Amino acid sequence: MAAHRCVSSALLVFVCVLSVFTVARSQETTPPGGHGAPATDGPQTVTETTGQTAGQPAAEERRWEATEVKEATPDESAAEEQEAPAADTAAPSAGPRPKDDFQEELVIRPLHSGDIYASFQFRTLWETDFTRENKVSHYRLFPKSLGQVISKFSVRELHISFTQGYWRTMQWGQPYQPSPPGAELWVWFQDSVTDVDETWKELTNVLSGIFCASLNFIDSTNTVQPSASFKPLGIVNVTDHRFLRYATLPREIVCTENLTPWKKLLPCGSKAGLAVLMKSEKLFHSSFHSQAVHIRPVSPTSWELRQTLNVVFDLHTSGQGKREWSLFKMFSRTLTEACPLASSSKIYVDVTDNPQGEQFELSPATPLLSQEVVLGDRRTFSVYDLTQQITFGTVRSLNLLIRWKSSEGDMLRPLLHGERYVAGYGLQTGEIHTLMYNYHPYRSFPVLLLDSVPWYLRLYIHTLTVTSKGKDNKPSYIHYQPSKDRLRPHLLEMLVQLPPNSVTEVTVQFERALLKWTEYTPDPNHGFYVGSSVISSLVPSIVAMDTNITQERPLFSSFFPCKEESSYFVRVYTEPLLVNLPTPDFSMPYNVICLTCTVVAVGYGSLYNLLTRSFQIEEPSPGLAKRLANIIRRMRGVPPL
Amino acid sequence: MLILMTLFSSCLFVSSSNIEDNVGNFFSSGHTNNWAVLVCTSRFWFNYRHVANTLSVYRSVKRLGIPDSHIVLMLADDMACNHRNPKPATVFSHKNMELNVYGDDVEVDYRGYEVTVENFLRVLTGRLPPSTPRSKRLLSDDRSNILIYLTGHGGNGFLKFQDSEEISNVELADAFQQMWQKRRYNELLFIIDTCQGASMYERFYSPNLMALASSQVGEDSLSHQPDLAIGVHLMDRYTFYLLEFLEDIHPASKTNMNDLFKVCPKSHCVSTPGHRTDLFLRDPGSVLVTDFFGSVRKVEITMETINLTSPIMQTEEKSAAYGDLQKETYSFSDQLPVSEIIHQKPKQKDWHPPDGFILGLWTLILLVFFKTYGMKHLKHIF
């Protein structure tokens, strides 16, 4: 009887506990359900129901996750991203849901010299709030290392590129993203930064750790603050050039140790998608290799991270004289799948010069064709969509093959080209010549030339001349900041109008400085590098450019924002210069010390001895008998013999 | 009765083996993490072999478990992407290009001009400027086993860095003493592959140091073999045989230091490798090679559930501020606003006093002069 009562009381207690638990559970499930409803619109009723059914496991997950993670498929996330502007205005109290988006593209452009130009573009969109600073951020597709760098150093825009080789504009045309040889870094800071130089120094050190490059050599002797070039590429409401810093390291080497951390920033790494093609043994065996990271805000609530890799493969060094390119020949890999985290994964092949297939043959054939306006011209592209399984065919792998049939046809000459060289002889003085070519037959356009020369080349600005077609061409804007020895480099910015079909030559004389012996590099006879000049210009375009920024465009055509239809923005980099400074012979100090010490010891020492030595006459030592006699005489107190 | 006896004897046996295990644990290392500092100090293409030496040790150390975050790799010059390299992005250790020690996943922390004596000593002692990133620091503690490998050109008592400066054995010994006083290592293995390498460890005086060198004082370390396609010598002999020895080691192997000392006898190396163990507290025979070249992984599997801390409260976003942001106009900026640039306000010029002021000032001065000294001077001037 008592046992029965015990059992019943235990049962009662158990039922009470269970009811408490269920009540608590239901309380926890209502908030996610409540968040789900106002944030999603009509077509997302599916997600709403899944949200509610996933409420119970979500409630437990909320114990150690600050933000809700929706297990959305890539299509859904893209759909959510498009609905985002509408949804945000409708429900500002929506929970902080990360709506990251990742797109990848590969553009292949066959060049007229037989080489081939491949450009990888990866874009990650990160939805975050600018005002949110100290809260726990949830990183899904955007790499955490870069996100922390942006928030810690109050960076608004960051552009960094590592390049090996020089882009030959006359043979290859214009690149989709230009970059100078070596490393280049330019950063726009937020208005809230108080000491820009200090933040710049810390930022370069942190980036040198992330990218395994010696960016810590960027200091005040190679940093400049341009006053008109390098306007921000992202959205902005006011531009104050006090928050801009630009530096370049022309000597920086690019190798696998820079590619490895770059690949690790991608959401799929190098395991899936287009990034499997990035094998360093093939990428660095090329005429030109450039990898870059661009971070900029594209809307008040989202950041864009673009990672681009441009590579030009040489026909002759890759073996086989046949003029034929395939993915396997270029990258020693073929593609088997798209990155599962990507909302779009496409390959574009430029077939503008091949409308009927008479110049080269592209296989496997693809029905998708698209026309894009890029670099002032309307180009036709064959598109391979890697998110469709049909692209891979029956063999489950995609190996594009481009086989040439005829080698006629010439390239459209690029409208703007720049060159630079050092003239003069000897190790005392010299002259820097910068040439800018305008190949347009009847239109002239303005260019902004930015020159940053290190302090050990002392420029004589009174000898600066700008001539076009033999006549003097006065620039409409000149900004010159003289250098300070060991503190600041020279900065020269000029806005020059280039007359049509002409060559404009900018010359300035300089004198070489003598460095202190500790300032020489371990290999000073190699020479000292002067960074490339930057020529920014609005070049008239052949077709009307698309100024609609909200339209969906492929990544390679939407890098520079377009404000007007008749011209497009282009940036051309000249060659870096290599100048020899008067270099001492570093093997000499040891020899000089030995020689000097010997000369001093022998020459001066003997002279000193001659002058200061006193000579005394010494008696020869007497015989034994005399010595004994002397001893006895000494004892007696009598002077010796 | 018999059963009891057998039970009792088996108990004793088990407990004795337990005691043996405990005794064994008492003599084992007791370190909790592993670090490696691998330095190549030579520049120029003909010193390809020094970079290949360092990279082959890097490769073995990574293979045996030390992660990149615990390796500080310093290469003084770039051989892989050097323009003279016929196969870019590769560094080979065996001729006929059999083994690429550079690989596809390499992180070099200090490269090029950054490899200096000062940076090397700062890494060892931990006295780096505050803005140095984590990957460039040696964040070891008093339970760390550190492997230090140096290679390059050296002489009696010094090692040459980048053809422009040297580090002496006294400096190195003092750096290790600083590390000991700051409790930055538990045990340290120092390997050096240069000419007259034994002179570099002669001056050590800190405890728990073991050192290996490829040649004695007065002897030169020789290189192994050239590759005719690349055109330079690929590896040094000592490191070549060390790499061969390490290729047979796997993370669980029990090879000890005495086997490491026997690597590269005089018949292979031509020089006599040396070692120094008098400062080391444990017997080298009980020290495993993986104590320095591999990494410790202590894994505990548990079946019980663990309750984590209370949930993180998510603070609500201010919708008002959000709305404000959208009201401000944001747009992409013009990349080359020509008219804006031309009419950009010129910089503040230095203030010059107006012209009339200077004229008036001189008139005043003249007047005062003539007033004080009289008008008779005026005719001398005019």
Least confident of A537-551, B209-223, B275-289: A537-551
What is the residue whose two structure tokens read 């005062």?
Answer: B368
For A239-266, write each residue's pLDDT tens digit. Answer: 889 999 999 999 999 999 999 999 999 9
Q: Is the confidence at residue B25, as pLDDT, over 60?
A: no
- DSSP string spanning A73-89? -HHHHHHHHHHHHHHHH
> Percent of chain B having pLDDT more than 90?
55
For B66-125, write each residue's pLDDT tens digit. Answer: 999 999 999 999 999 999 999 999 999 988 878 899 988 999 999 999 999 999 999 999
Say if A524 is an interface residue toward chain B (CB within 8 Å): no
Say if A566 is an interface residue toward chain B (CB within 8 Å): no
User: Does the interface ipTM go beyond 0.85?
Assistant: no
CB atoms within 10 A of CB B320: 8
Amino acid, res. B20: E
Q: Which pLDDT score is estimated for A562?
A: 82
Q: Is the confidence at residue B46, as pLDDT, over 50?
A: yes
Which A-chain residues 615-634 have CB contacts (< 8 A) with chain B? Answer: none
- Is A256's CB within 8 Å of B323's CB? no
Say if A166 is an interface residue toward chain B (CB within 8 Å): no
Q: Which pLDDT score is estimated for A64?
A: 38
Determine the residue of chain A that is closest to B327 in CA distance.
A300
Say if A285 is an interface residue toward chain B (CB within 8 Å): yes
Q: Shortest Cα distance from B106 to chain A (angstroms)? A: 5
Determine the residue of chain B that is closest to A476 in CA distance.
B342
Partners of residue B341 in chain A, C-beta under 8 Å: 228, 448, 477, 495
Give the pLDDT band (50/70/90) at residue B355: confident
Q: What share of chain A is helix, strand, coil (3-state, %, to 5)?
A: 30, 30, 40
Q: Which of B81, B99, B153 to mutate to test the interface with A (most CBs of A within 10 A)?
A: B81
Q: Which pLDDT score is estimated for A377?
A: 86
Q: Which two tokens stand for residue B63?
A: 């293979």
Whether the bond between A364 and the residue before it is cis, its omega within 30 degrees of 0, is yes
Nearest to B186 by CA among B30, B347, B5: B30
Which A-chain residues 86-145 have CB contacts (< 8 A) with chain B? Answer: 88-89, 92-93, 95-96, 129-132, 135-136
Mean pLDDT across chain B: 85
Name the residues of B annotated as catalytic: 153, 195
CB atoms within 10 A of CB B263: 19
Beta A302-313 vs A377-385: how paired, if at all? unpaired
SS3 A614: coil
What stretches in chain A show pLDDT beneath 50? 1-2, 26-95
- Is A254's CB within 8 Å of B81's CB? yes
Q: Which pLDDT score is estimated for B37?
A: 97
Say if A332 is an interface residue toward chain B (CB within 8 Å): no
Q: Are A260 and A323 in contact (CB under 8 A)?
A: no
CB atoms within 10 A of CB B18: 10
- Is A448's CB within 8 Å of B329's CB? no
> Percent of chain B having pLDDT more than 70?
84
Q: Are A223 and A198 in contact (CB under 8 A)?
A: no
Partners of residue A208 in chain B, C-beta under 8 Å: 133, 136
Determine the residue of chain A that is closest to B343 in CA distance.
A477
Considering only the beta carbons, identify the residue of A93, A132, A233 that sits closest to B319: A93
Say if A161 is an interface residue toward chain B (CB within 8 Å): no
Determine the residue of chain A that is closest to B107 in CA distance.
A257
> CA–CA separation, B48 vs B92, rounded Å?
9
Partners of residue B329 in chain A, C-beta under 8 Å: 237
- Is B330's CB within 8 Å of A214's CB? no
Determine the residue of chain A that is closest to B347 in CA distance.
A479
Q: Which pLDDT score is estimated for B351?
A: 72
- Is A235's CB within 8 Å of B330's CB? yes
Q: Which pLDDT score is estimated for B175?
A: 96
Q: Shortest Cα distance from A338 to chain B (angstroms)? A: 22
Q: Which pLDDT score is estimated for B133?
A: 93
- DSSP string spanning A251-297? T----HHHHHHHHHTSTTTTTSGGGGG--HHHHTSSSEEEEEEEEEE
Q: Which pLDDT score is estimated for A135?
A: 59
- Is A64's CB within 8 Å of B133's CB? no
User: Which contacts (CB < 8 Å, 24+ apart) does range B274-277 have?
Assistant: B274/B197, B274/B198, B274/B212, B274/B213, B274/B215, B274/B216, B275/B210, B275/B211, B275/B212, B275/B213, B276/B201, B276/B204, B276/B209, B276/B210, B276/B211, B276/B212, B277/B210
Q: Are B128 and B134 in contact (CB under 8 A)?
A: no
Which A-chain residues 226-265 have CB contacts (< 8 A) with chain B? Answer: 227-228, 231-237, 239, 251, 253-257, 260-261
Say if A214 is an interface residue toward chain B (CB within 8 Å): yes
| pTM of the shown model | 0.79
Q: Is the confidence at residue B276, as pLDDT, over 50?
A: yes
Q: Which pLDDT score is estimated for A4?
A: 52
Q: Which pLDDT score is estimated for A429?
A: 94
